Amino acid sequence: MFGDTKSKQPLFNAMATRSYDIHRYDKTKRSKLDDACELAKTMPIPPKSGYALVDSWYTCPKLMNTYAARGYQLIGALKTNRILYPQGIRVRLDTFASYVTQKEVHLVTVNSSPYWVYRYEGALNSIENAVVLFCWPKEAFQVPKALHAFLCTDVSLETQTILDYYSKRWPIEIFFRQAKGNLGFKGYQVRSIRSIERLWALLAFTHLYCTIGLGHPLLFGDGLRKVRNDVKGQYIQWIYDCGRNEIPLDAVLKSLKAA
């Protein structure tokens, strides 16, 4: 959730502490969109204004209206097949983007990376008025597969600010990737709800330990590497001590389950 349009400083920022909530979804009870709306209803009401950051699956009127009722504007990625209505003409976003010229874009730098950006303000399917930003990497202007689009319901927000705010969502994707690639979240084979929730607890504790449990705050990747190096060092130290104490190699291999 993000900040005040005047100060451009975050009022609410769940990512500042890298605190994430893993929510279990039951497709037999309701849709993912309905589930997201129910979660949105639990958000604290911001004292001034706030911004909800979502991916392209959730950039839709139903969720926008739910967040609006709690005092939040929505900033979300858009699929490039979404329908726009420039000057009342119905056209796909990617088709409209293909007619954008170099004179109509300007460079915006986000997290040290430059992008050519075109700003559209107007109607979309089922959305009366919103800002849509068309973005291409500096070296890939008008390369179709390089196009990315973002929507903001707050039409008063500057282009730079919209992209800066949305970039704060990227650590969530990194967290998902780390959880799947480094913490086994992608390949677990348990099926019961209790087992899954226990796995989530272990994942959360591991993430917490690697980020704030090593004496000073660290990025998760840095903390995980430190923990792994520490464990590797302990193995080496143990093997070294076994050698000094003249413990037979067979016994060492057996203890390491390498016999």
Does the pLDDT at position 239 exceed 90? Answer: yes
Quick one: pLDDT at residue 187?
79
Q: What percent of the chain has pLDDT over 70?
A: 92
Q: What is the pLDDT of residue 14?
A: 35
Whether residues 194 and 69 share a domain: the answer is no
The three-state secondary structure class of 26 is coil
Residue 162: predicted pLDDT:
97
In a domain, 159, yes or no: yes
126 φ, ψ to 5°? 65, 10
User: What's the mean pLDDT in 247-259?
Assistant: 88
On whether both 143 and 234 belong to a single domain, the answer is no
Domain that holds residue 114: 14-168
Segment among 62-66, 70-74, 82-86, 180-184 with least mean pLDDT: 180-184
In a domain, 57, yes or no: yes
Q: How far apart are CA 222 and CA 121, in angstroms?
A: 41
Please choose, from the candidates 88, 48, 102, the residue with its C-alpha nearest in 3D space to the C-alpha of residue 72.
Answer: 48
Whether the predicted pLDDT of 28 surpasses 60: yes
How many domains would you assign to the chain? 2
Per the document, the length of the chain is 259
Query: How far is the C-alpha of 183 from the C-alpha of 202, rounded, in Å?
Result: 9
23 and 118 housed in the same domain: yes
- Collapsed DSSP state (helix, strand, coil) of residue 78: strand
State what percent of residues in the chain have pLDDT above 90. 65
pLDDT above 80 (res 119): yes
